[in-house]
Amino acid sequence: MKFLLFLMLTLASVYASLNVQTTYTSLGEIAKKVGGDKVSVNVLANPHYDPHFIVPKPSLISKLRRADVLIINGAGLELGWLPPLLKGAHNGKIRPGAKGFIDVSNAIKLQNIPATVSRAFGDVHSQGNPHYMLDPYSVIPAARLIASKLSAVDESNAEYYHENLDKFLKNWKIYLKGLDTKMRGCKEKNVVQYHELFNYFLNRYQYKSYGNIEPLPGVSPSSKHTLALINTIQSKKVNMILQDVYHNQKTAKFIAQKAGVKFLILPHDVGAVDKTDSLEKFYTVISNKICQ
């Protein structure tokens, strides 16, 4: 009996690759780099949609049901859609706190941590701004955490994961060097955003964000706030408005026209706009658009 079980376990480990589910595409890309051919990676959220509000389709439950590992962004970004899916999946392997549950925000020093938290201030995340993957440097701690967690779940391939990690990080640091050099040449650095979505990228390259189109996080634009923002744009000499792909663009376009500034649509994740199907291309597209 014990022998049979052992045989089944070894067979399973030989033939089946690790089933890795990630909530968002950038995390999926990192998991593919680190996991190589020992893992099969699936991304739950469509990058065209608002990462805060993904429709919890039952098909996502069946994906989680068979997962060995679940990699999430954390810091509250999945709060509005992932918990009911996890509850329905009946999978102890990826329960929060289990070996196969990876919250990448644990490896990141989060920014914009609010001093006081109340929903009177809109949809503020108590742990800090969750959009840390906009910083290309976040890829490094994220990849390290994923490598060590994959190794813990799948000990027999630990060495393989760490080799992949080293290879990937070496290339990534070279890419970052190139990106840094390019970003050093940017002149126009005053921006306004729809939502505090690009803060990590902006802070990394010393951009200044002077306000948001939404009056409070998660609250739709109001005319009073929009008029005040136009004044700010003019007095602070803002150069561009940064918009995501999923919010209504009407207000941003109106402001851009009134204030005579550029209007840019930036990807918030890998695959959110055309030609961003890899991590490199994702950050390159942002830098190309923002640094002119």
Partner 1 sequence: MKKILILSAFCSSILLASSEVEDLKMQLLQQSEMIKALTQRLDKLEEEKSPYSENIASSGFDTSMMQGTQTANASFSQNAYLPDIALIINSSAVGRNIDNVDYSAYSTPGFIDTDPNKEIPFNPDRGFNLNYAEVAMYSAVDPYFDAFAIFHMRAADFEIDEAYVSTRDLPYGLKVKAGKFKSAFGRYNEKHQHAWEFSEQPIVYSGFFGPEGLSDPGVQLQWVAPTDTYLMLGVEAMQGTNEQSFAYAKTNNLYNTYVKSSVDVTEDTSVLAGISYIHGKNLEGNTDIYAADLTVQTQLDSYRSLAWQSEYMYRNREQNIKTARQDGMYTQLVYDINQNYSMGARYDILMKNNLGDKNLDMYTAMVEYKPFEFSRLRLEYSLDKSKYYGGEQKDVQQLMLELNIAVGAHGAHSY
> Which residues does residue 262 pair with via DSSP β-bridges, in sequence order?
240
Residue 215 binding partner 1, by CB under 8 A: no
Q: Which residue, among 116, 135, 100, has the nearest Cα to 22 in the 3D structure?
A: 100
Q: Which of 8, 9, 83, 174 binds partner 1 (CB under 8 A)?
A: 83
Q: For partner 1, give the closer residue by CB, 97 or 185.
A: 97
Q: Which two tokens stand for residue 73?
A: 């962004």
Q: Which residue, among 28, 107, 106, 110, has the nearest Cα to 69 in the 3D structure?
A: 28
Among the candidate windows 44-52, 234-242, 264-272, 277-285, which touches partner 1 by CB under 8 A?
Answer: 44-52
Distance (Å) of CA 204 to CA 75, 111, 136, 176, 179: 19, 11, 9, 12, 11
For residue 118, the number of C-alpha atoms closer than 13 Å in the C-beta half-sphere is 3
Q: For partner 1, give the closer residue by CB, 57 or 170.
A: 57
**Phi, psi dihedral angles at 102 (to 5 degrees):** -120, 115
Q: For partner 1, give the closer residue by CB, 35 or 51.
A: 51
Q: Which of residues 89-118 bind partner 1 (CB under 8 A)?
A: 89-92, 95, 109, 111-113
Q: For partner 1, give the closer residue by CB, 35 or 128.
A: 128
Q: Which of 88, 99, 190, 209 binds partner 1 (CB under 8 A)?
A: 88
Q: For partner 1, give the closer residue by CB, 34 or 41.
A: 41
Q: Which of 119, 155, 187, 260 binds partner 1 (CB under 8 A)?
A: 119
Residue 53 binding partner 1, by CB under 8 A: yes
For the CB of residue 18, give the shortest distance to partner 1 in the complex, in Å: 15
Residue 253 binding partner 1, by CB under 8 A: no
Q: Which residue, among 210, 204, 207, has the nearest Cα to 192 in the 3D structure?
A: 210
For the CB of residue 168, give the shortest distance to partner 1 in the complex, in Å: 26
Q: Which of 62, 156, 234, 288 binds partner 1 (CB under 8 A)?
A: 62
**Stretch 156-195: interaction string toward partner 1, x if CB under 8 A:** ----------------------------------------
SS3 labels along 198-212: CHHHHHHCCCEEEEE
Query: Which residues, 6 or more positions from 100, have their beta carbon under 8 angstroms from its beta carbon?
Result: 67, 68, 69, 70, 93, 94, 153
Helices (DSSP H) in 111-240: which residue ranges? Answer: 139-153, 158-184, 199-204, 223-235
Distance (Å) of CA 130 to CA 33, 102, 133, 197, 268: 22, 15, 8, 9, 12
Residue 207 binding partner 1, by CB under 8 A: no
Sign of CA dihedral 277, 78, 69, 175: positive
Q: Which two tokens stand for residue 144?
A: 């390290």
Q: Which of 14, 59, 185, 224 binds partner 1 (CB under 8 A)?
A: 59
What are the residues binding partner 1 (CB under 8 A)? 46, 48-50, 53, 55-59, 61-62, 65-66, 79-85, 87-92, 95, 109, 111-113, 119, 122-123, 203, 218-220, 246-248
